Structure formats: structure tokens, C-alpha cells
A and B are shown apart, each in its own frame.
With several copies, the nearest count.
Chain A
Amino acid sequence: MFQGRDIACDRGERRIFSNLDFRIMQGQALVLRGPNGCGKTTLLRTAATLLKVARGKLTWDGTDISEDPEEHRARLHFVGHLDAVKGALSVRENIAIWAKVRGSTEDRIEAAMAAFEILHLMDTPAQYLSAGQHRRTALARLVASPAALWLLDEPTVSLDADGTACLQRAIAAHRADGGMVMAATHIELGLDDVEFLQLKPQ
């Protein structure tokens, strides 16, 4: 269980939000909503320990994550606006790199490309990808190595209907395995049985 209690976050010396509570159980998905600039990205980055909480506590199964941030980092995937895809490497190499860094196996790499329907682009250097193909490559990282918590910041940007369906299937499979998802979005993700967290601009 991933839980935040009475969280407050600052960006550039400004309080973005405060008194925020949330809870994600195994297999659950939490969707963050709110107008531009309300702090969705900020919250996701905080949950990934990339930002520090200004007040409150984030806990994993009851233990404070700031006690061992490395352990928390190892159990999450974060896909944000920057997609960490290297133009000089092929699609396959891009995915394999992150799988290897996280100690995953070869066959998951194939599975990840299959999950996002980019097997045919396997050997294409990423700099020649269209915006949507690029995004699929970034998302394939989620499947290429296992992690309990997925933090997704506007994951469907640039995806076509097919791509969105791929993502939905991947999320469903992840949840069926007991995984958790926390996603920020402006458009319908099309997931079933989700909870919403509405952020209000301060």
C-alpha cells in the first residue's frame, strides 16, 4: 500500500498544494486531475522521490519512504514528459538498456515491444520515429522490467487510438498482477475501476 498523508509540496519557494491525502492499494489505480499548473506533475515527482515533501509523509506499507529512498526507487517506474529515449540508439537498444539497468531478462524486452506494437520498428534509430512511436518506445519501459508502482505523467500524449488501447491493456495486466498505478491526465484514459484525485489550484 502506497499512502500519502497530509502532503504539501513546494516549487521554487511557492507552496503548490497542501493537506493532500491519498492511498493506493494493490491493484488499484489513482488518476490525478486538475487544471494546468495545479501540481499533478509535482505530486508524481514527489512520489518518485525526485522532489522532497515540504510537509507530511509518504509511506509504503506503513514505512516512511524517505528512510530508504533507493529501495523505493527500485520498486517504481516513472514516465514523464521527458522520455529518456536516445535518438542514436535503435528502439530495441533503448528498451534493452533500461531493462538491463534494472536487472530484467531478455524475453521481457520482446514482450514490451509486442505490448506496444513496435516490433516492426525494432531496428529503427529512435531519431526517425514519429511522435507517437517515440512515446510508445518510452512506455515500453514499463513492461520491460517489473515494478510495483507506475507513475505516469500524461502517458497518452501523442498516442493514437491503438496506442492508447495498448497502454490500457498494459495497465490492466499490471493491476491484475497486484501492481499500482498513479497517473495524471487531462483526457479520458479509459481505465475501469479507478479512483480520482482532484487537485485544486491554490
Chain B
Amino acid sequence: MKSFRAIIARDLLLAVRQGGATFLALVFFLLTVTLFPLGIGPEPAVLARVAPGVLWVAALLAAMLSLDRLFQADFEDGSLEQLTLSGLPVGFIVLAKIITHWLTTGLPLLLAAPVLAVLLNMNDEGFAALLLTMLIGTPALSLIGAIGAALTLTVRRGGVLLSLLVLPLYIPVLIFGVSAIDAAVHGLNAKPHILLLAALTMAAIPLCPWAAAAAVKLSLE
């Protein structure tokens, strides 16, 4: 347990030192969302119509792009093999890294989302649903993403392969997330969508670290 906490502390320290990763994932999210009004045009009605989708897609992309930080740097400089040699089961090491990933990516996105929702003219009813779905959905992004990150470890410049593997797996999160917000915006009941999203995250918590650990072990062979 002490080692587990030590690993999380280490990863957070590195995240802060290496160019303020937290700050930067957020910046990507902000930039992508601001590109849209530029591409689509400024009409408020159109923007409001596409707001939940744009926000969630941008969140997906921001989470996915920061995945290469998850294991790659540690793999390349030998830290990952040192971590697995620490005596802690690999599943726990992976879980520690997933937690850091969420703290440095999912959480900032969650906090920034309301501001962007205002920029995109999103209707007020959607706010609570937006926050709630982001809170429940972003951990699933980190969990599922870990599998892709681990699988592409031995692949040089695996970044784009990573996106091919991970984005299809992210689609349910996107769909449940958006449909919950849409339901709320139209005054319908968002609960079933949110419950489905929660079920997805719950199922991912035990399964994903296990699958990712298998992939990590493979990459060290």
C-alpha cells in the first residue's frame, strides 16, 4: 500500500515537472473546442445544437492524446521494468498510473467543461448533466485507454496506432455521455443514460487494469 502511494506520488511529481502536463492536456481541450466556432461559424443556435457532442469529442481526444504519457516514457528509460520489479503486482502499478492519469487529465477537463459550455452557448439545463457525465465518464476513458497504451508500448511511434485501437473502444462513453446531456437539454429523463455510463465505468474498474497489466508484462519480455 505504501509502495502504491509512492508510485502515485512519483507520477504526480513527474507530471508537474515535465512541462506541467496537467495544464497542457487542458489547453488541448480548450484549443480544440475553440477551433469549432471558427470552423462551423458563430451562429448561437448551431453551436448550442452541437455543443454536447463537440465537448465530449474534444474530451475524448484530449484524454486519448495524453495516453502516450501513461507508460511510454517509463518504458523507454527502463523505469517501467524497475516498477514491475518493485514487488507490487503489475495490476496495481497499472492502476496507480491510471489514477494519476485521471487526476492530471480527466479532472482538469471536468473543471474546464462548464466554461467551454458557456462559450458554446449550451443551454443551462445541460450543465448538471454535463458535469455528472464527465465525472462518471472520464475515469472510464483513463481505464480503457490504459489497455491501448500498454498494447502499443513496443511499437515505435505508436501514437496513431493507439488512436485506432482506443477510439472505437471509447465510443460507448461518448454516446452515453452525449445522450444524457441531450436528454437533459430537452427536458427528458437523463437518468437511464447516466446509469448505463456508471455501469460501464464500474465494469471497467476491475477489467481494464487486469488486461493492461497483461499487455505491460508482454512488452517487457
Contact = CB atoms under 8 A, between A and B. Distances in A.
A50 B80 CA distance: 11
Given A86-B14, A88-B14, A101 B3 contact: yes
Contacts of B17: 88-89
Nearest to B154: A127
A70 B89 contact: yes
A89 B85 CA distance: 21
A126 to B, nearest CB: 10
Q: Is the interface of B mostly helix, strand, loop or mixed?
A: helix
B77 interface: yes
Contact of A74 (B7, B10, B79, B86): B86
Instruction: Please classify how large the interface on chain A is, using the bins under 10, 10 to 19, 20 to 34, 35 or more.
Output: 20 to 34
Interface string A98-134: 1011110000000000000000000000000000000
Interface of B: 2-3, 6-7, 9-10, 13-14, 17-18, 76-79, 81-89, 156, 220-221
Nearest to B75: A82
A70 B18 contact: no
B83 A101 contact: yes
A83 B178 CA distance: 45
A82 B86 contact: no
Contacts, number: 75
B156 A97 contact: no
A88 B14 CA distance: 7
Nearest to B83: A101
Contacts of A85: 77
**A-B pairs with lowest CB-CB distance, top 7:** A74-B87, A82-B78, A100-B6, A84-B78, A88-B17, A84-B79, A84-B82
A86 B78 CA distance: 10
A159 B82 CA distance: 22
21 contacts: A48-B85, A50-B81, A50-B84, A70-B87, A70-B89, A73-B87, A75-B87, A78-B81, A80-B81, A82-B78, A83-B77, A83-B78, A86-B79, A89-B14, A97-B6, A98-B82, A101-B7, A101-B10, A102-B87, A103-B6, A141-B82
A51 interface: yes
A84 B77 contact: yes
Nearest to A52: B221
